Amino acid sequence: MATTVKAMLAAANEAVPKVDPDQAKAMVEKGEALVVDVRDPQEVAASGKVKGALNVPRGMLEFSADPALPSYCKSGGRSALAAATLQQMGFPDVAHLDGGVEGWRLAGRPVEPATP
């Protein structure tokens, strides 16, 4: 069954407890919590982050949190999770590139240089 971002956010907000800034500060000071900032590095660079927070971009969260997994950067892991999310949202024609951008490059396909 298709879902929407609004429904996904509502489910997440219902399932995950919230703490206010004072509670979070106390938990961190007691060593009971680690703040993980899931914004992109450019956002963190532009606006700063909670002191001591670990920056793990949302696209890498699952891979960073699972010590049993090797790094899946550029090999299609993030695209597999993204494609699954789009399918859950009801997009019918979704696929992901096997091997990711690294597989594309190793197959001799052209890769554009990054733009500043």
Catalytic residue set: 73
Q: Environment class of residue 65 by beta-carbon count within 10 Å: exposed (0-12), middle (13-18) or buried (19+)?
A: exposed
Alpha-carbon distances of 29 from 19, 20, 37, 38, rounded to whole Å:
14, 14, 17, 21
